[in-house]
Every structure is written in structure tokens, then in C-alpha cells.
Amino acid sequence: MTEDYPPISANSAPGFPDPLRMSLGHADDRLLVDHWMPPQWGIAPRIRIGRHWVNTLWALPISAAALLCLIALAQSLRELPSVGAFIQRHPGIAQSAPAVGSGFPWWLEVQHFLNMFFMLFIMRAGLQILADHPRLYWGRDCTPGTDWFRFQVPVPKGRIWTAKDDSVTLPTWLGIPGLRHTLGLSRWWHFSVNLLWVINGVVFYALLFSTDQWQRLVPLTWDVFPAALSTAIQYASLNFPVDEGWTRYNGLQQLSYFITVFIAAPVSIATGLMQSPAISNKLSWFGRLFNRQAMRSVHFISFAWFVGFILAHGAMVFVTGLRQNTNHMFAGVDNASWVGFPPFLLAMAILILAWLIASPLTIRYARQVQHVGAFMVGRMMGLAERWDPRSQLTEKDISPYFWPNGTMPNSEAFDDLVANKFASYRLRIDGLVERPQEFSLAALKAMPKQEQITTHFCIQGWSGVAKWGGVPMRDILSLVKPMPKARYAVFYSLADGADGGRYYDVHKIENMSHDLTILAYEMNGAPVSVLHGAPLRLRCENELGFKMVKWIAAIEFVHDFADLGAGEGGYNEDHEFYGYRMPI
């Protein structure tokens, strides 16, 4: 069969180690701030209403004015006899709501604290991830102008503007670890702490329902709605409702806690997971219907709910009786002492300390954060790689715009290839294979072509649908015949990465025989452009975009990749602390 292709003798294959291996660069274990991507500040968040972009900062004066009006309104409402009678009838706590007999048990206090502690990391790291593509959309394409939310200027026209160019800086006190395009590290924080938070949540649900505590949170009567309205009027009039927090919550509390615990939290988890290529593909029609961008938008709205909840809840702790509230939640007593106050202060001190050190330590110990994160969640996430992606879309789903990303080739050798239309291009396949070979582009095009319409999931958050045409990797495998000890396929690019040194990425060999793993030379029916990876780029649909090497120079099959580059399994793994297996 090989006779159909240009003869390549195993002897003439240059063999590794060779210039390609040597071209992989050194990478630092710390995030060197001076050496990192130069800062680029975003703008105040804007929301699109129709064709107009509204600056969300307006919300501050508007809500302050609205609050004052609301207070005045609520106070005059309470003067009305009918409203007075309504409040009499619905004092704020649903009359039929059962009273909880167990007060605030110690496990509830511990879990409440852990939840606060975990949320601090999750939310800050989540914001950092958002800042890597500071726009939100509802449609599955990320076509410029179709965003409904952004904290970045409109996409500049008339020049190449990559997704990396679009990322914005966050201050180190806000994001973890702050700076720009540091989502590799924030993802480790986000996912590892999510795991702890989910465990805490599962234990919380279990204890809640095995005791009488669930009755605090779950409304058991329709009465909760008039009770909530009544409480809202009472709070707004600054004449607070009766507080029976030791045994049961008022309507407004119950509804907001219920939404937070039983709606916002599960929605966050589901919409987070559905942004993953492997999970979205696995869910097939469901993943296509609830596309990544819609899920990312809902994930953000749920985040906004948490921010609002935490601000309101935190303020209420202070204004509705700090001593009593801290006694309940930090000492589990309902008396006139101050025993809950010192543990409350201690909890706040721990939170503030954690807040202060999270970013500096992440910057200083970036490699360790990457490794601990991979230890905590990497293996579990990697399991999703086993799913063979088969989910495809249709021609009409193809995105009108597909963000370009990465560092373009910049060498005379590449320019020469472009000039001769890749006639002199050779794909070298070498390493632990029985038949090392070189393929010209013509030879690859002469092989059976596979076409697929798939969604590209960039780690930064954007996605796009394109039709790709190329040679299935499984056909290449059957030609070159990897040896049994070959466990990984290394893809070397013709281009360098952003930080110098050659771009490369390593895949498990299992990924290579998935149905939709191809070496693509066509995009949307035309030869793939230089911008998108000409002459050849990898499509491996259950991974995030950075693992799909563009401008492929060679593929080497290896037993281990520890001796390549910084040994993390790829260029962005080495330099930007990404994970080596990233199906999620």
C-alpha cells in the first residue's frame, strides 16, 4: 500500500533527537511578570441592548437612586391600611412553615465556612478565565458584534486580531492570579477547588436531608410568596421583620437561599461542565442545542447571582443583628452572649489572608500549582478523553467567523513553503514506528479524505463551527505502524510559540484512533489558510483547541515525553501551565 506514496526509506529518515527536538525551548517554573504577555486593560463591562451598548457602571448611581426611591415607596406603602393589614396577615414567615428544632449544628457551621472559603477561590479564578475571552454570546458562534456582554473594545477591523490579543488584564487582587492570559493557572484553581466545593455540597445535601435542617431552605407552602413580598416591603421600609432565624427563615430569606443552594449551584456545575469539548460532544444533540456559548453565558449569570447574594447576605449579617447572627453561625448558640464573635473574626481573618496570598503564591509557584491541580483533577478530567467524539453538526451550522489564535509562523523556510504552494512540504512521521515515512501534501491528498463538521473549543472560551477535511489519523497509523511501546504522538509545528522555542503538543496514542481525529488540509471546503494552519493542522475533537497543532512539521511517536521541552506535554503546558490532557 505504501507504494502509492513517495518512497521513504526508513534509513533516510533523519531520526530523533534532531533539530526539531532541539528547537523546543526552555520554560520557567514561575510566572515571570516582566517576561509575561504585556498588560492590556479592558473597559468597564457593557451590556448590549438592541444595537446599543450600555455601560454597567450606570447601574451604580441608578441602583443607589432606586434604593432611595424604594425606601420612600415602602415607607409610604406601609401607611396604607390595606398594606398594613397584608403585613399583619403575612408577617414575613410563612405561618405553616415548620420550625427547625436542631438550631445550627456544628457541621452546618463548618460547611458554611468552607463554602465561603472555596467560593473565594472559585469566583476569583472564574473571573480570570472570563477575562481571557472577555465577551459573552448566546449563539454558538463568537462572531464579532454578536456578543451581548463585553469588557473589551469591539474587535478591531482590518488586522489580524487573535483571541490572545483580545484577552485583558485583571488586577492580582481580583483575579487569581491576575495579570493577562493566565487562565492556565486559574483553571487549576477553579477546577480543584470546585471539586472540594462539590464534595462539601454533596455532604451538605446529605446532612440537610438526613436531619430537619432542609426545612429551613425548602419552601413547603405557597405562603412563602406573600411572606417574601411582605418581608421585602418591611426590609425596604427599614423597619425589619421579626426574626426567628434560629428556627425558621422569613420568606425572602428562604427563597433566596433556596435559589442559591438548589438552583444556582447545580446550574453552575452543569453549565460549567457543558463548556467542555468532550462532554458537549458526548451529550450529542443536547450539547449542540445547549451550545458552549449559551452555557458560558448562563454560567456567568449564575456567577452574578452569587455575587449579588453574597453582597446582600453579607450586608444583612451586619444590619439585622451581628451579635445574634454570628452566635448562630459561628457558635451555634441563641443567647445574649458574644461567643460567636471571635470565631467570626477569625474566619474573616482567614479569608482575608487567603485573599492576599492566593495570587502572589500562584505567580511564584506556578509550576507547583499546575502539578497540584493536575494531581487533584487532571486524572479525573482525563477520563473524558476515552469518549470517542462522534457528534457532528450540519453545513448550516458553520460559523461565519472563526477566531484565529496562536503565534503565526515567522521564518524564511515557511515563507518558501507558502511561495511554492507547499509543493516542497513534507510531513515527517518518525520515532517508535515500524515504517518511518515522509508524506508530501499531494500524497496526503491522494489518500481517502474524511470530512467533519465540528465545534472548536478554545481554552480561552470562544468556540466556532467549521467543516474540516483531511486524512484520518487511524489511516496514518496503519501505514506507519506504531510499535507496541509507542504511547504518545508528538506533533511538532513549523512555527514557534509566543515565548520562543518550537510549538509542539503531545497526545496519548488512543486519541489518534478516535473517529474524528484527522490531519486537516481543508477548512470549509477550501484549502486551510495559513492563518488557520496550512498546509496541515490537527483536528482532535475531544480536546481543547491548543492541543490541535497548526502548521504541522512532523509527528514523532514516543514512549515518554518527559525529555521534551519542559516535559509537561506541550508548548502551552510548558509555558502557560496548561494541563496536558484537556478534554474539559
Relative to beta strand 552-558, strand 426-431 is parallel
Q: Taking contact as CB under 6 A, which single stretch among the options 112-120, 237-245, 425-433, 492-500 is the one that binds ligand MTE?
A: 492-500
Q: Is the Cβ of residue 320 or residue 407 nearer to Mo ion in the bound state? A: 407
Q: Is the Cβ of residue 430 or residue 573 nearer to ligand MTE in the bound state? A: 573
Q: Is 274 helix (H, G, I), strand (E, B) or coil?
A: coil
Nearest Cα to 130, choosing from 296, 377, 361, 258? 296
Q: Shortest distance, CB of residue 407 to ligand MTE, whole angstroms?
A: 4
Which residues, numbered 202-231, are part of the site for ligand MTE (CB under 6 A)? none
Nearest Cα to 168, choosing from 52, 38, 267, 264? 38
Interaction partner, residue 230 (ligand MTE, Mo ion, none; CB < 5-8 Å by kind): none
Which residues, numbered 501-520, are part of the site for ligand MTE (CB under 6 A)? 503
Of 458, 480, 489, 540, the residue at the interface with ligand MTE (CB under 6 A) is 458
End-to-end CA distance of the chain: 38
Peptide bond into 535 cis (omega under 30): yes
Which residues, numbered 401-440, are part of the site for Mo ion (CB under 5 A)? 405
Which residues, numbered 297-326, are part of the site for ligand MTE (CB under 6 A)? none
Which residues, numbered 243-272, are part of the site for ligand MTE (CB under 6 A)? none
Question: Facing residues of 554 across strands?
Answer: 428, 492
Q: Taking contact as CB under 6 A, which single stretch among the options 122-130, 283-291, 313-321, 489-497 is the one that binds ligand MTE?
A: 489-497
| DSSP string computed for 252-309 | HHHHHHHIIIIIIHHHHHHHHHTTSHHHHHHTTHHHHHS-HHHHHHHHHHHHHHHHHH
Q: Is the Cβ of residue 279 or residue 538 nearer to ligand MTE in the bound state? A: 538
Q: Is the Cβ of residue 459 or residue 564 nearer to Mo ion in the bound state? A: 459
Q: Is the Cβ of residue 178 or residue 545 nearer to ligand MTE in the bound state? A: 545
Report d(CA 147, CA 151) in Å as an integer.
11
Which residues, numbered 7-36, are part of the site for ligand MTE (CB under 6 A)? none
From residue 164, alpha-carbon distances to 35, 147, 192, 545, 571 in Å are 16, 17, 24, 13, 15
* Stretch (H or E) spanning 288: helix 285-289
Whether the CA torsion 257, 262, 267, 270 is positive or negative: it is: positive
Report d(CA 459, CA 545) in Å as an integer.
6
Nearest Cα to 110, choosing from 200, 192, 244, 190? 200
Q: Shortest distance, CB of residue 536 to ligand MTE, whole angstroms?
A: 11
Which residues, numbered 401-420, are part of the site for ligand MTE (CB under 6 A)? 402-407
Q: Shortest distance, CB of residue 457 to Mo ion, whole angstroms?
A: 8
Report d(CA 420, CA 417) in Å as an integer.
5
Task: Put the strands of the sheet holding 488-496 in their side by side order.
Answer: 437-440, 426-431, 552-558, 488-496, 502-508
Q: Is 466 helix (H, G, I), strand (E, B) or coil?
A: strand
Report d(CA 555, CA 535) in Å as an integer.
14
Q: Shortest distance, CB of residue 241 to ligand MTE, whole angstroms?
A: 52
Residue 496, C-alpha cell as written in the block: 514557534
Q: Shortest distance, CB of residue 488 to ligand MTE, whole angstroms?
A: 17
Q: 268 with 302: CB under 8 angstroms? A: yes
Interaction partner, residue 521 (Mo ion, ligand MTE, none; CB < 5-8 Å by kind): none
Q: Shortest distance, CB of residue 548 to Mo ion, whole angstroms?
A: 9
**What angle is formed at CA 549 by the lines to CA 497 and CA 35, rounded to 5 degrees?**
20
Q: Is 467 helix (H, G, I), strand (E, B) or coil?
A: strand
Q: Is the Cβ of residue 403 or residue 521 nearer to ligand MTE in the bound state? A: 403
Q: Is the Cβ of residue 415 or residue 434 nearer to ligand MTE in the bound state? A: 415
Q: Which residue is nearest to ligand MTE (CB)?
A: 406
Q: Which residues contact 581 (CB under 8 A, 6 or more apart)?
A: 378, 381, 382, 385, 508, 543, 569
Interaction partner, residue 404 (Mo ion, ligand MTE, none; CB < 5-8 Å by kind): ligand MTE
Residue 583, C-alpha cell as written in the block: 478534554
Q: Shortest distance, CB of residue 535 to ligand MTE, whole angstroms?
A: 13
Interaction partner, residue 407 (ligand MTE, Mo ion, none; CB < 5-8 Å by kind): ligand MTE
DSSP letter assigned to residue 365: T
Q: Shortest distance, CB of residue 142 to Mo ion, whole angstroms?
A: 12
- Tell whether residue 503 is a contact of Mo ion (CB under 5 A): no
Q: Shortest distance, CB of residue 371 to Mo ion, whole angstroms?
A: 22
Interaction partner, residue 127 (Mo ion, ligand MTE, none; CB < 5-8 Å by kind): none
Q: Shortest distance, CB of residue 567 to ligand MTE, whole angstroms?
A: 19
Report d(CA 329, CA 327) in Å as an integer.
6
Q: Taking contact as CB under 5 A, which single stretch among the options 98-106, 199-207, 272-280, 540-548 is the one that binds Mo ion?
A: 540-548
Of 31, 252, 374, 458, the residue at the interface with Mo ion (CB under 5 A) is 458
Strand residue runs (E) in 270-329: none
Which residues, numbered 524-553, are part of the site for ligand MTE (CB under 6 A)? 532-533, 545-546, 548-551
| DSSP string computed for 565-579 | TTSSSBHHHHHS---
Annotate each residue in 544-563 with x if it binds Mo ion (CB under 5 A) or - if it does not, as one string. -xx-----------------
Number of residues that bind ligand MTE (CB under 6 A): 19
Residues that bind Mo ion (CB under 5 A): 405, 458-459, 545-546
Residues that bind ligand MTE (CB under 6 A): 402-407, 458, 493, 495, 497, 503, 532-533, 545-546, 548-551
